[in-house]
Amino acid sequence: MEPLSTAKSDPEQTKENAPSTESTPSVPGPPPLAEKIISATRDSPGIANRLERQAQPNIDEDQETDIWWGSYAGRTMTPSFIVCGLLTVLLIWSVWLIWPEPDNRPYLERYTTYILVGAVWSFQVVRWGYRILALNYRLTTHRLFCQRGFQTAAMTSIDLSKIATVRIERAPLENQLKVGRLRIIPVDASLPPLLLEGVWHPDQIAGLIMKQVQQARQKQGQTVHSAN
């Protein structure tokens, strides 16, 4: 009689030794801190630059920068052009009235009129062009400049912290043309005021100047006193 064998058959043994295919999926743990930083930098390329700029001190805080550039507005001379037109009519009428009738040289009358009218308009155009080109204004974060002429020596300036107030002056017609004059009154009464002529939109420019004056005073720990 053969002894009872306790060994399992080969197929059953192979089935038991095979690894189980039904395994619980592994849950990935949180990445390390270094991997998080690398991942964030890779996803947002500009984050490192932004952090670097925030860490750097603001070295340009006291640097003088331009706020406004201006010049003489040509339309400011509109009233004087109207006067030149009336003067032209007056000259033509005067020459025609005064010139003797029996004169057999009518070309002299015509050329005399041309010379007088041409002189008036030439003087006016030269004044107009000079003011447009020679009168320039510049406002920075520290000073206000006024240049009258084509040379650097013709430029005057005043520190914003030394400005007391800005006055707007304009005639009724200038109000319609949206131009005017700005009279800069310094804190020191012994100094002469600075006059900006032919400023386009003087209300806005005066407000801009006083805003910069207030900021300049605040940097020095002062207060701006409103003018009476």
122 and 157: one domain? no
154 and 215: one domain? yes
Given the structure tokens 């930083």, which residue do they identify?
A: 37
Q: Name the pLDDT band for 219 (thresholds 50, 70, 90).
A: confident
Question: Which of 114, 132, 150 lies at the terminal end of a domain, its last residue?
Answer: 132
Please tell me the predicted confidence (pLDDT) of residue 104: 63
Domain membership flag for residue 39: no
Q: Name the pLDDT band for 69 (thresholds 50, 70, 90).
A: very high
What share of the chain in percent tops pLDDT 70? Answer: 66
Q: Which range marks the domain in which residue 157 is found?
A: 66-71+137-219
Question: Which of 83, 116, 132 lies at the terminal end of a domain, its last residue?
Answer: 132
Work out how many domains the chain is built from and give that number. 2
Better-predicted residue by pLDDT, 26 or 188: 188
Domain membership flag for residue 58: no
Better-predicted residue by pLDDT, 192 or 44: 192
207 and 145: one domain? yes
Please tell me the predicted confidence (pLDDT) of residue 3: 45
Q: What is the pLDDT of residues 16-45, one digit of tens each?
A: 454 444 444 555 554 554 454 445 444 444
146 and 195: one domain? yes
157 and 209: one domain? yes
Please tell me the predicted confidence (pLDDT) of residue 63: 84
Q: How far apart are CA 205 and CA 199, in angstroms?
A: 8
Domain membership flag for residue 42: no
Does position 55 have pLDDT exceeding 50, yes or no? no
Q: What's the chain's average pLDDT? A: 77
Q: What is the pLDDT of residues 82-119, one digit of tens each?
A: 999 999 999 988 888 887 666 666 677 788 888 999 99
109 and 146: one domain? no
